[in-house]
Amino acid sequence: MSNLRFKSRRAVASVVLAILVSVLCILPVTPVWADDKAEAEQLVDKARVTFESLTVVKDMEALVSLVKKAKGVLIYPSVLRGAFIFGASGGTGTFLVYDASAKKWGGPAFYTLGDVSFGLQIGGDASEIVLVAMSDRGVSALQSASVKLGADASVAAGPVGVGAAAATQGLSADIISFSRAKGAYAGISLSGAVVGVRGSLNEGYYGKKEITPTDILIKRTVHNPHSAGLIGAVSKVAGH
């Protein structure tokens, strides 16, 4: 009798296990980068809002002037001042690059900003920062996994204020930086800051593992239609 009960329980257990396996097989598999995709999409949307809001104010006419001649634009919607002070990553941004041959902007690729030993030069807990790459060297440097501004690529604070566009003629740095915190506009010196590739967001946004900034920005082997709004905003200001 006990032997029959054992066999019966064993048979039931086998059936239950088979059902569980069947259920697991038919459930949709969620990619490991699902959360990264959602974060990346939100960041792209925020970057578009930041860029559009910065480029419509008179104090940022120099930014607009430089974007028209830029080879790339890196937009950080939010960089924490405290993170700068303590050397942590201050924020994540989106980088677009202009292909002069195709006459199109492409991207974005995702980057962190941090590892600097000083606080932001203007008040506020968080700042919006835009880095404008003016040279091929600046764009090439940002293809690396990690770039130290001021060493791997020269960087300078952009001029702000009405009439500041004229002052851009004398700028020769690879990258020009602008920022806004609590409504105050400023060119911010980021010499010593480190820009690093955020691979997880690149993978999540494009749904492909081990994707590199070069694949995204130069070879353009991947594309996400979600980026159309951001690319359109930059294209509109750049005039191409």
* pLDDT tens-place string over residues 161-207: 888 887 787 788 999 999 998 778 877 778 889 999 999 999 999 99
Q: CA of 200: how far to CAs of 36, 95, 154, 196, 221, in Å?
A: 6, 15, 27, 12, 17
Q: Check pLDDT > 70 for residue 135.
A: yes
Least confident among 4-8, 99-103, 209-213, 233-237: 4-8
The per-residue pLDDT for 117 is 44
How many residues are there in the chain? 240
In the three-class reduction of DSSP (H, G, I as helix; E, B as strand; rest coil), residue 173 is classed as coil
Tokens of 160: 């702000």
**Model pTM above 0.85:** no
Indicate the pLDDT class of residue 7, thresholds 50, 70 and 90: low
Whether the pLDDT of residue 157 is over 50: the answer is yes
**93 pLDDT higher than 50:** yes
| pLDDT recorded at residue 189 | 76
Task: Report which of residues 89 and 168 the model is more confident about.
Answer: 168
Q: What is the pLDDT of residue 222?
A: 97
Contact 90, 80 (CB under 8 A): yes
Determine the pLDDT at residue 175.
97
Question: Which pLDDT score, from 0 to 100, does residue 33 have?
Answer: 58
Least confident of 31-35, 71-75, 132-136, 163-167: 31-35
Identify which has the larger pLDDT, 82 or 163. 163
Tokens 């064993």 belong to residue: 10
Cis preceding-peptide flag for 31 (omega within 30 of 0): no
Query: Looking at residues 41-60, what average pLDDT do you find?
Result: 97
Report domain extents, the chain. 34-238
Per the CB < 8 A criterion, the answer to whether 182 and 171 are in contact is: no
Mean pLDDT value of segment 68-81: 92
User: What pLDDT is stored for residue 185 in this prediction?
Assistant: 82
